[in-house]
Amino acid sequence: MQVIGEAVSKERERVKAKKMKQPATHLGQEIKKVMDVPTSMIEREIKKTAMEKLKEFKPKGKPS
């Protein structure tokens, strides 16, 4: 059993947790705090939602 424990300890040292990249936006950071979701998935969904909102956006007044 001691051999297994030593192997587990060595493996834990070998595989250190990587620092995860933080979301670029405040909204993304808030989502990251609440949900255990990868940053890349958060960024993708925020970008997709932003693009949809921009397509729907109709500015007031004359277009330039």
Q: Give residue 51's domain range.
A: 20-56
- Is 37 inside any structural domain? yes
Q: What is the pLDDT of residues 24-49, one digit of tens each?
A: 999 999 999 999 899 999 999 999 99
- Is the pTM above the cut of 0.85? no
Whole-angstrom distance between the N-terminal and C-terminal Cα of the chain? 75
Task: Return mean pLDDT, the chain.
Answer: 89
- Is 64 inside any structural domain? no
- Is 12 inside any structural domain? no
- Is 38 inside any structural domain? yes
How many separate domains does the chain show?
1
Q: Is the pLDDT of residue 2 over 70?
A: yes
Give the pLDDT of residue 43: 96
- Is 41 inside any structural domain? yes
Q: Is the pLDDT of residue 53 over 90?
A: yes
Give the pLDDT of residue 64: 64
Q: Which amino acid is at 62?
A: K
Q: Which residues contact 31 (CB under 8 A, 6 or more apart)?
A: 23, 37, 42
- Is 61 inside any structural domain? no
